[in-house]
Amino acid sequence: MKVFLEGKGLDLTASTRADFSDVKPDAWYMPYFNFAVEKGIIEGYNDGTVRPGNNIYRGEMAKIASLVMNL
């Protein structure tokens, strides 16, 4: 997600803070998650997690790329 968002040159600083129980607020990737949640690119899981340590599937990556490229 970072590669796609930075490739578009988007301003990530104005995004609202997303609240995931498994992501520390000061994690390096939090600005990317905040932006992606705000724009509807990712939603996380029903249990309030986003599982940042899990591998991403090809279909998930394709969805993220598609949504970012249409911003």
pLDDT digits (tens, 9 = 90+) for 16-42: 888 888 988 889 988 888 899 889 998
Q: What is the pLDDT of residue 46?
A: 93
Q: How many domains does the chain have?
A: 1
**Closest to 69 measured CA to CA, from 50, 33, 41, 47:** 41
Return the structure tokens found at 68: 């970012």
**Buried b vs exposed e over 3-16: b needs ≥16 C-beta within 10 Å?**
ebbeeeebebeebe
Which residues, including other chains, have CB under 8 Å from residue 69's CB and lie 6 or more apart?
A: 4, 8
Structural domain range at position 41: 2-69
Q: Give the pLDDT confidence score for residue 63 in this predicted structure.
A: 92
